[in-house]
C-alpha cells in the first residue's frame, strides 16, 4: 500500500453541530478498514485496526507499510482473510486513505468536497500507418480528484467536476458558471470555490 500526501490544511478543530461533529481538518476518526463509503461516513470501520493481523498472526501497526496478505482476527473464532483490493479505504492516525489508481491515497484536504491526488497508469499507444494502435509506452501520471461527501462520487478536479459538485449549492453554482470559461478551469478558481463550498457546508460525522 502506498499513499501520496498533499496536505493543504493542518488546523485540527472540533465544533458542536446539531447532527454531529463538524470536521475542519483532523477529526478523531476511528482507525481501521472501510469496506465502503458509508462505513467511512458513519465513522465506523468494518474492521478495527487492532483486529488486523499479517500472515504470521502479528498485529499490523502501520497499514501503509503492510506487505502480503492481511487477516482479520475476531474476538472469537478463526481469523479471516481480507481482500484489500475490495476495500474502499482505511483510517490511521486520523488520516484517511482511499483506494484508487495504483494504491491507497490520502485525502489531502478534507471537507464536504474533499481533494486528493492519485497515481494512475495508462498505455500510450503508437499509431500505425492505417490508424491502428501498436506497441506503446506505459505512463504514470498524477491526477487531482474531488470526493463529494454527500454522494460518495469521485469527480475530476476541473471545471466540469466542480460544476457537478456545486449542484448542491445554487448560489455558488450560479457564481461559478458566470465566470469566463477559461477562468473556471484555473487552479485558483477551483480551490477558491472548493473552500467556499466547504465553509458553507461543514462536513460532519456522527457524535
Single pTM value for the model: 0.76
| pLDDT of res. 78 | 81
Query: Which grid cell is 69?
Result: 496478505
**Hey, how many other C-beta atoms are within 10 angstroms of the C-beta on 128?**
10
Query: How far is 109 from 85, CA to CA, in rounded Å?
Result: 24
The distance from CA 44 to its chain's CA centroid, rounded to whole angstroms, is: 16
For the chain, the domains span: 1-27+101-207, 30-93
Residue 127: predicted pLDDT: 62
pLDDT in tens, the chain (207 residues): 333 333 333 223 333 333 555 554 445 789 999 999 999 999 999 999 888 888 888 888 788 777 668 888 777 778 788 888 888 999 998 899 998 877 889 999 999 999 999 887 877 666 655 655 665 677 888 899 999 999 999 999 999 999 999 999 999 999 999 999 999 999 999 999 999 999 999 998 887
How are beta strands 113-127 and 103-109 bridged, if at all?
antiparallel
CA dihedral 86, 44, 196, 145 (to 10 degrees): -10
Cβ contact 33:87 at 8 Å? yes
Q: What is the pLDDT of residue 18?
A: 39
The whole-number pLDDT of residue 70 equals 86
Amino acid at each position: 500500500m502506498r499513499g501520496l500526501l498533499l496536505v493543504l490544511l493542518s488546523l485540527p478543530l472540533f465544533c458542536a453541530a446539531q447532527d454531529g461533529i463538524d470536521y475542519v481538518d483532523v477529526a478523531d476518526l476511528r482507525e481501521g478498514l472501510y469496506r465502503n463509503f458509508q462505513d467511512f461516513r458513519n465513522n465506523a470501520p468494518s474492521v478495527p485496526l487492532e483486529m488486523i493481523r499479517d500472515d504470521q498472526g502479528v498485529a499490523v501497526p502501520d497499514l501503509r507499510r503492510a506487505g502480503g496478505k492481511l487477516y482479520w482476527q475476531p474476538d472469537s473464532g478463526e481469523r479471516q482473510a481480507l481482500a484489500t483490493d475490495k476495500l474502499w479505504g482505511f483510517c490511521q492516525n486520523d488520516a484517511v486513505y482511499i483506494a484508487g489508481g495504483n494504491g491507497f491515497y490520502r485525502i489531502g484536504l478534507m471537507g464536504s468536497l474533499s481533494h486528493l491526488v492519485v497515481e494512475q497508469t495508462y498505455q500510450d499507444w503508437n499509431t500505425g500507418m492505417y490508424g491502428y494502435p501498436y506497441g506503446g509506452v506505459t505512463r504514470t501520471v498524477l491526477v487531482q480528484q474531488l470526493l463529494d461527501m454527500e454522494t460518495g462520487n469521485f469527480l475530476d478536479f476541473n471545471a466540469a467536476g466542480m460544476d457537478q459538485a456545486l449542484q448542491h449549492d445554487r448560489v455558488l453554482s450560479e457564481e461559478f458558471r458566470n465566470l469566463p470559461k477559461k477562468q473556471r478551469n484555473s487552479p485558483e478558481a477551483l480551490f477558491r470555490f472548493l473552500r467556499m463550498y466547504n465553509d458553507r457546508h461543514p462536513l460532519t460525522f456522527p457524535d
